Amino acid sequence: MARPKEFDREAALDAAIGVFREQGFAGTSTGDLTQAMQIGRQSLYDTFGDKWQLYQAALARYGARETEAHRAALSTGPRAVDGLEILLARVRAKAGEGCLSLGAASEFGRSKPELTAILVAAERPLLTALAARVREAQEEGDVAGVLDAREAAAFLVASISGIRVAARSGAGAAQLQALAELALRALR
């Protein structure tokens, strides 16, 4: 008779996210994962499959949570541009932690269709929400009306990635603030 699982699957998955965020897929060993997740190898395999399947599950969970947090930040503030500023402030505050989505895109590019699908599933609703806020900001006169809202949303996603890379490369708070301000200024 099989022993029942004696660990919290979601907590273990969150621990795996932390390891993958810091070390990437290739840099993470199964031992790193089992130690962080506080489970044995067999529990990892029984619950998540192999390291690759765990990575995909971690990326999907991380992407969904980040997208939801970004969308929540966007929806705050009395004006649409306030939501854009709050989103960028959130990114600046967490930029040093590393981004699993950015790490996956950097490590694999578009070479793994299953990862591409996960990344697109997380990015699509964020782009839609960003474009909607840009349109609102245009209507309120805070963003240039000549800009294509979808292109501006893609620019903001690229700016977010740039802020995160700069933070991981050692940029200080003042430089990250300047990058966020330049991104917003480019929309005016």
Secondary structure (3-state) at 24: coil
Q: What is the pLDDT of residue 1?
A: 44
Q: What is the pLDDT of residues 157-181, one digit of tens each?
A: 999 999 999 999 999 999 999 999 9
Q: What is the pLDDT of residues 66-125, one digit of tens each?
A: 999 999 999 998 999 999 999 999 999 999 898 999 999 999 999 999 999 999 999 999
Q: Please report the domains of the chain, with CATH numbers, ordered by start residue.
A: 9-185 (1.10.357.10)
User: What is the token pair recorded at 68?
Assistant: 């939801």
User: DSSP for 79-131?
Assistant: SHHHHHHHHHHHHHHHGGG--HHHHHHHHHTTS-HHHHHHHHHHHHHHHHHHH
Helix/strand/coil for 185: helix
The whole-chain average pLDDT of the chain stands at 94
Dig out the tokens for 34 from the structure: 């089992």
